[in-house]
Structure 1
Amino acid sequence: MKLLLDENLSRRLVPMLQAVYPGSSQVDLLSLSGSDDRAIWNYAREHDFVIVTKDDDYLDLSAHHGSPPVVIRLVMGNCSNARVLAALCDRHGAIQEILGRGSSVGVIELG
């Protein structure tokens, strides 16, 4: 599973995620900075990414279009990169288990 971090998450997280989520990236690193959510959604679907965001916007896209892609919504408020990294890495197994349930999963919330 590879993650696509939204603009609201630091690109500095990407190298630290590679051991657990190889192939992960961030929208700025893929020249998607400033793109609307729909364009990022389509990119994630076409390239088999799971979107990671703090925004609610992707919840609407998930409700209207279903998955893929799956969205991981971080419900953490303003927090450090270390906390985001810990949440994603510590819950890797649980996220994989949820994704293994199939296409009925659209949004995973981590807090």
Structure 2
Amino acid sequence: MVRALPRPRAIASGAGPDALRSRPVAEHVTDIGPGGAPDRELWRYALDHDAVLVTKGEDFSNMLLLGGTFPAMVWVRVGNTRRRALLEWFEPLIDSIVELVDAGNRLIELR
């Protein structure tokens, strides 16, 4: 299920929404810096690079409550699964995700 949540008032990467349409680019955290980088650093990277943050972690969605500027975020809310199964599940959703980001949705929840 792909669901766009309303933009909060009080919240992959490597390409902005327009670039995603032609060819999605994904970078793992360890490709852009230390794997143990703090969430704030990843958040800032996404903002600086007009990237869409894809995460299974609840921490980023909690950061929305702090307000301010935030990157587009895809919150993957599935249980533990093997990487291959997760990617097979995720890949068919990419076009829908791109459409939602292009439409201005900043938080997209996947279940």
Query: TM-score of the superposition, structure 1-length normalised?
Result: 0.71
- Map 1:1-111 onto structure 2 (within 5 A): 3-4=12-13, 21-22=24-25, 24-65=26-67, 68-102=70-104, 105-111=105-111
Root mean square deviation, CA, Å: 2.0
Q: Distance in 1 between matches of 2:106 and 2:36?
A: 24
Measured after TM superposition, the shift of residue 83 of structure 1 is 2.2
Q: Distance in 2 between matches of 1:67 and 1:110?
A: 22
Measured after TM superposition, the shift of residue 108 of structure 1 is 1.0
Q: Distance in 2 between matches of 1:50 and 1:32?
A: 19
Q: Aligned AA for 1:21? A: P
- Mark the runs of 5 or more structure 2 residues left unpaired by the alignment: 1-11, 14-21
Structure 1 contact 32–40 (Cα < 8 Å) conserved: no
Structure 1 contact 55–73 (Cα < 8 Å) conserved: yes
Q: Distance in 2 between matches of 1:87 and 1:65?
A: 31
- CA separation of 1:80/1:66 partners in 2, compared to 1, >3 Å: closer, same or farther? farther
Measured after TM superposition, the shift of residue 72 of structure 1 is 0.9
| Identical-residue share of aligned pairs (%) | 27
- CA separation of 1:87/1:70 partners in 2, compared to 1, >3 Å: closer, same or farther? farther
- Mark the runs of 5 or more structure 1 residues left unpaired by the alignment: 5-18
Structure with more relative contact order (C-alpha pairs < 8 Å, separation 6 or more): 2
Q: How many residues align?
A: 92
Q: Distance in 2 between matches of 1:89 and 1:68?
A: 24
